[in-house]
């Protein structure tokens, strides 16, 4: 009986290995070809003059305007004292 069991065990082992190999091979990734296409496109954007200045320049202009207004008010006050 022993020799018959070994033969059966060999058959089962071979069948198991075949099933595992078929499963592993069937789950392989298939080759997919991909292409990268790079296009260079030149974009022309017209920006107004105010947008060419940075935030610091715009802020400085606003502050200068406010300071000049305050200076003008002080000069008017001083000028009014002479009357």
CB-hemisphere CA count at 13 Å for 42? 1
Long-range contact list for 43-46, CB < 8 A, 24+ apart? none
pLDDT tens-place string over residues 36-80: 888 898 988 876 665 677 888 889 999 999 999 999 998 888 877
Distance of CA 46 to the CA centre of its chain: 26
Which pLDDT belongs to residue 50? 56
Which pLDDT belongs to residue 20? 87
Decide: helix, strand or coil at residue 73: helix
pLDDT tens-place string over residues 19-35: 888 887 776 666 777 88
Which pLDDT belongs to residue 66? 94
Q: pTM for this structure?
A: 0.34
Sequence-separated (6 or more) residues with CB below 8 Å from residue 44: none
């Amino acid at each position: 009986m022993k020799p018959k069991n070994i033969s059966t065990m060999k058959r089962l082992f071979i069948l198991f290995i075949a099933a595992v190999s078929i499963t592993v091979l069937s789950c392989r990734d298939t080759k997919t070809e991909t292409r990268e296409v790079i296009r260079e496109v030149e974009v022309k954007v017209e920006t107004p003059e105010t947008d060419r200045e940075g935030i610091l320049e715009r802020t400085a202009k606003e502050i200068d305007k406010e300071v000049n207004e305050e200076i003008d008010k002080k000069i008017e006050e001083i000028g009014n004292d002479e009357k």
